[in-house]
Copies of this chain bind each other. A is one copy, B any other.
Amino acid sequence: MNSPYRSDKPLTFVLIHGSWADVHFWDGISAELRRMRHTVHALPYAGHDNDPNRRVTHAMIVQSVVDSIVRQGLSDIILVGHSFGGTIIQKTVEVIPERVKRLVFLNAFVLPDGQSAADQLPPAFVSAFEQLRAASPDDTIALPYPLFREAFANLGSKEQAEWLYRNTPVEPAGPLFEKLDLKKFYSLSIPRSYVYLMEDNVFPQTDEYSFHPRMSSRLGLYRLIQGSGDHMVTPRYEPGHVARLLFMGARD
């Protein structure tokens, strides 16, 4: 009853996955949040999940998320983005700010106005992605296993990393390279939190490139929540841990 992870007033979570992922990324975390009595909507979006359109644009992704939220009549939302999902919640909240109670970035991109996700990456990373994109028949990027294993799944066992990799979809390349107009985002004063899993190895953890403090510090006044974890294994294999951190980021 008095558990610090139960709130009297249940929250409404809307969860937006990142690249090389689908809504099943949230399966364990959703179940844990529901056990805490919250309402959870893990949203599929354009060009991902069941939509085969490889020519999807960032605007189409955002529109599909907005449509889902409006269609279901959701309000007072805790809008959570993981990884590339950070860029999606940045644009989504520009369209429906009145429905959003708080933004929660989970090891997520926070883009500056006028930049792309690719603009945030170290040069070696960008050129690798450009080569993978050019080599693809349908303008997608498939993560090579060594990159996935070392940088996205570093804390996992071989079995966990391989299982996750087998279930990793290719990613439409276009949106990763789109520069986004975020002037409205930076004019909004909706509360925001950054939940940081500290062993995330997708970026070098320097001031120059890190999720935290580099991306997080763009949020201005925000709430920091932190715990152990990597980019892909911890959210899938320790969902209770991540759900508790998300709740700490989400509560009033």
Chain A residues near B (Cβ < 8 Å): 4, 7, 124, 146-147, 149-151, 154-155, 157-158, 191, 193, 198-199, 201, 204-208, 210, 212-214, 217, 220-226, 228, 230, 248, 251-252
Q: Are B201 and A224 in contact (CB under 8 A)?
A: yes
Q: Sorted from nearest, which 5 A-B pairs have the closest CB atoms?
A: A201-B224, A150-B223, A205-B213, A204-B217, A158-B252
Copies per complex of this chain: 3
Provide the residues of chain B in CB contact with A217, threshold 8 Å. 204-206
Q: Are A212 and B221 in contact (CB under 8 A)?
A: no
- Given A205-B212, A213-B206, A217-B204; A223-B191 close (CB under 8 Å): no
- Given A150-B191, A191-B150; A157-B201 close (CB under 8 Å): no
- Given A4-B157, A157-B4, A252-B158; A199-B226 close (CB under 8 Å): yes
Q: Smallest CB–CB gap between A252 and chain B, Å?
A: 4
- Given A150-B191, A248-B155; A213-B223 close (CB under 8 Å): no
Provide the residues of chain B in CB contact with A214, threshold 8 Å. 206
Question: A204-B217, A205-B212 given. 13 additional CB < 8 A pairs?
Answer: A7-B158, A147-B221, A149-B223, A150-B221, A155-B248, A158-B251, A199-B226, A201-B224, A205-B213, A206-B214, A206-B217, A207-B207, A226-B228
